Amino acid sequence: MASANGIELNQVTVSFGRDRPVFADLDLTIEPGEFVAIVGASGCGKTTLMNVVAGLVPLDAGTAAVGGSPPSAGRPDIAYILARDALLPWRTVQSNVEYALGLSGVPRRERPGRAQSYLEKVGLGHAVGLLPAALSHGMRQRVALARAFAVERSIYLLDEPFSALDAQTKLVLQNHLLNLWEENRKTVVFVTHDIGEAVVLADRVIVMAANGGGIVEEVPVRIARPRSSEELQESPEFHEIYRAAWHALRRGMGA
Amino acid sequence: MTVTTLTKVRTSSGGRLLSRPGYLAGARALLLVAILLAWKASTQIGWLDEAFVSTPRQVAVATWDLLTGEELWPNLRVTLYEVVVAFGLSAVLGVAAAIVLDRNRSLNALVAPFFTAINSMPRIALGPLFILWFGIGATSKVALATSLGFFIVLVAVMGGLKNVDRDMLLMSRLYGAREQQLFWHVRLPWCLPSLFAGLRLTIVYCTGGAVIGEMIAAQNGLGLLLQTYSSQFNIANVIAILLVLVVMVSVMTGVLELVERRLLGWSEGSTDIPG
Ligand SMILES: Nc1ncnc2c1ncn2[C@@H]1O[C@H](COP(=O)(O)OP(=O)(O)O)[C@@H](O)[C@H]1O
Ligand SMILES: [Mg+2]
């Protein structure tokens, strides 16, 4: 039973009022402090699953417990990083992070220091005064990471945050994420359609099937931490798990 | 990469001369001189009747006489007062109505056809009615001008509020924002660019409304002067008053642009929000 900062889904069904559910009778347990990646074809229900955990989508059947209580939107213990960074274009990088801190109830005088320190952790110490329009895509996503980790939640949901980035930038961002996570290892659910990314980051890769099949396989990733995304690219261990996850995904897609 | 570079090279060679500030001002001055010369020449050749279009020199003299005389200034003050009050009312009422209608879908659905009906009435034709209802003084002109400006602001701000970025709202909610915080931190800043676009137009339309109101019936104001000079076939003075109006609108627009630049520095070059 996952209580504290774990996630427990029991026989969950979501159908959005249609005949064919997005997924049915889905079971998923995520331990506190675990880093889980979810992979699956586009449209298989990854975002819907995240929305269930974030309390944005009502269940048609089953039960969900997040940190021991039912999901609800805007809970102060969950951070949800969307695919689009949603930075406010009228605020500087620093001020965007302070905005989230303010919404989370962090006292005013603590905000600047905390924002600055998290921006430095993602290598943006030099860019605090810039407006989002002046940033590259990768930099914007780094601000979004800093913003999410600065509010210091206990459960992190990330929905394809790096999917629009080029391969090189992606590796850099993965390292920033790993470093932020290593600091106090909060529970993370990371959705991606990139198997390599899933294996680099996660303790466990969960494979969802296309066409409402739900979760079909789990691939444990027993690679020592702390990890470096660049170094892993050349490790045989990484490629072995990558292959296993890839075959699982193929089976899930009915190939 | 290559494509961007090519485009850059092409545009910079195409409009190179006019993109330098000094040259642009010079070219504009030249164009103005050309227009004035064509105007003057057409009256001399006889293509245009001097009695109908006056001449550049007569207009210059008339303008000087107006600026140094005593007739212009009190009338300008009245018109300026009417336009400024109507502009302020349009802005405040337009923004307030837009916020209320954006928040209350059913109220919006209820009143939308009525607003559309009122807004599609030719306001100039309503002028005499406004005079009847609000008297011959400034109030009727302010009412006429506001009836134009209000809808411009309303439509501009409602358009802005309607397409507020969904992800910015969702992101803010997920970090714990309440409705009131969403308004001040997301909705309001989001629709400032459309508000300012609307306000620019509002200056033009409020001026038009006030002047037309004065032309219908008034005791003073630039519209009254226009009406008087027109009936005397004093074309030079009519054009001179129009020039004064152009300057008045330009100055007001300039002030608005100053405010806009302070508030909207962020929106320059970020009209399409990436991510
Ligand atoms: N709010 C919604 N209303 C109705 N259908 C939805 C909604 N959100 C998602 N869906 C449907 O659920 C299915 C899974 O979508 P999604 O979870 O976004 O997939 P993924 O993130 O894996 O690409 C799709 O068929 C999509 O059309
Ligand atoms: Mg998705």
pLDDT tens digits, B122-164: 988 899 999 999 999 999 999 999 999 999 999 999 999 999 9
Q: How far apart are the C-alpha atoms of A18 and B23, rounded to whole Å?
A: 65
Q: Does residue A73 belong to the interface with chain B, where contact is any CB pair within 8 Å?
A: yes
pLDDT band at B269 (very low <50, low <70, confident <90, very high): low
* Mean local confidence (pLDDT), B94-113: 94
Rg (CA), chain A: 18
Specify the residue with its C-alpha closest to ligand 1, atom 16: A45
Architecture of the domain whose range is B56-263:
Orthogonal Bundle (1.10)
Burial status of residue B65 (CB atoms within 10 A of its CB: 0-12, 13-18, 19 or more): middle
At A216, the amino acid letter reads: V
pLDDT tens digits, B106-120: 999 999 999 999 999
* Mean local confidence (pLDDT), B31-38: 95
pLDDT at B17 over 90: no
Distances (CA, A) of A109 to A83, A101, A102, B14: 30, 11, 10, 53
- Closest listed residue to residue A27, CA positions, set A68, A62, A69, A78: A62
Mutate to test the interface with B, among A50, A92, A95, A103 (most CBs of B within 10 A): A103
For residues A169 and A204, the answer to whether their CB atoms sit within 8 Å is: no
Instruction: Nearest chain B residue to A147 by CA: give it.
Output: B175
Q: State in Å: Cα A49 to ligand 1 middle.
A: 9
**pLDDT confidence of residue B15:** 59
Of the CATH numbers 3.40.50.720, 3.50.50.60, 3.40.50.10470, 3.40.50.300, which one belongs to the domain with range A1-73+190-254? 3.40.50.300
Mutate to test the interface with A, among B172, B175, B183 (most CBs of A within 10 A): B175
Where helices occur in B69-187 by DSSP H, the ranges are: 72-103, 105-120, 123-134, 138-162, 166-174, 179-182
Q: What angle do CA A72, A76, A77 make, to 5 degrees?
A: 90
Q: Which atom of ligand 1 is nearest to the CA of A42?
A: 23
What the block records as the tokens of A196 is 């390599």
Q: How far apart are the C-alpha atoms of A157 and A160, rounded to whole Å?
A: 10
Q: What angle do CA B81, B83, B85 make, to 5 degrees?
A: 65
Specify the residue with its C-alpha closest to ligand 1, atom 3: A16
Instruction: Spell out the domain ranges in chain A.
Output: 1-73+190-254
Domain with CATH 1.10.3720.10 in chain B: 56-263
At B141, the amino acid letter reads: K
Give the residue ranges of chain A where pLDDT is below 70: 1-3, 255
pLDDT tens digits, B237-254: 999 999 999 999 999 999
pLDDT band at B10 (very low <50, low <70, confident <90, very high): very low
- Closest listed residue to residue B214, CA positions, set B275, B147, B138: B138
3 state SS of B143:
helix
Q: How far apart are the C-alpha atoms of A51 and A157, rounded to whole Å?
A: 9
pTM to 2 decimal places: 0.84
ipTM: 0.91
**pLDDT confidence of residue B173:** 93
For residues A55 and A91, the answer to whether their CB atoms sit within 8 Å is: no
Interface of A with B in 191-250 (CB under 8 A): none
